Amino acid sequence: MSALGRHVLAELHGCRFDVLNDIEKVERIMINAALEAGAEVREYVFHKFSPQGVSGVVVISESHLAIHTWPELGYAAVDVFTCGSTVNPWDACNYLTEQFEAAHVTANELLRGQLVPQKVAVNL
């Protein structure tokens, strides 16, 4: 079976407060993660919460990268969804892990839109 896309859900723990709470840094890191994975960036939007935290999404031709940060906990929830075979979501996740200086990461990959082979009726 093949799939339409790969979706990596990552939990980044032990990240630096000052990075996770800086909208410009988070935006730049997320955009660069998409580029590091070989994706084509289309649009992006980020929001800074008060008193802390950043949420944002980078729309790529191949799907998206999204993040929500809890700087006070040193935690970021990240998802990277890519379609097709040219972009590897793990490349983006590895880049994010490095840039956010995560001490611990757990991540899982889901195959999205798995294509089930069709049964073909044969008339004899």
CATH number of the CATH domain containing 106: 3.60.90.10
SS3 content of the chain, % helix, strand, coil (to 5): 25, 40, 30
Dig out the tokens for 63 from the structure. Answer: 């799907």
Is residue 98, in this structure, part of any structural domain at all?
yes
Active site residue 7: no
Question: What pLDDT shows up at residue 119?
Answer: 65
Flag whether the pTM goes above 0.95. Answer: no
Angle at 29 between CA 27 and CA 35, to 5 degrees: 105
Give the domain range for residue 19: 5-112
Is residue 117, in this structure, part of any structural domain at all?
no
Calculate mean pLDDT across residues 89-107: 98
Question: What pLDDT shows up at residue 57?
Answer: 98
Question: What pLDDT shows up at residue 87?
Answer: 95
Is residue 26, in this structure, part of any structural domain at all?
yes
How many angstroms separate the CA atoms of 80 and 11, rounded?
12
Set 63, 64, 85, 104: catalytic member = 63
Is the per-residue pLDDT at 54 higher than 70?
yes
Calculate mean pLDDT across residues 47-61: 98
Calculate mean pLDDT across residues 63-80: 98
Set 83, 85, 93, 104: catalytic member = 83
Active site residue 2: no
Calculate mean pLDDT across residues 34-39: 97
**Overall domain count for the chain:** 1
Is residue 122, in this structure, part of any structural domain at all?
no
Active site residue 85: no
Q: What is the mean pLDDT of the chain?
A: 94
Per-residue pLDDT band at 122 (split at 50, 70, 90) = low
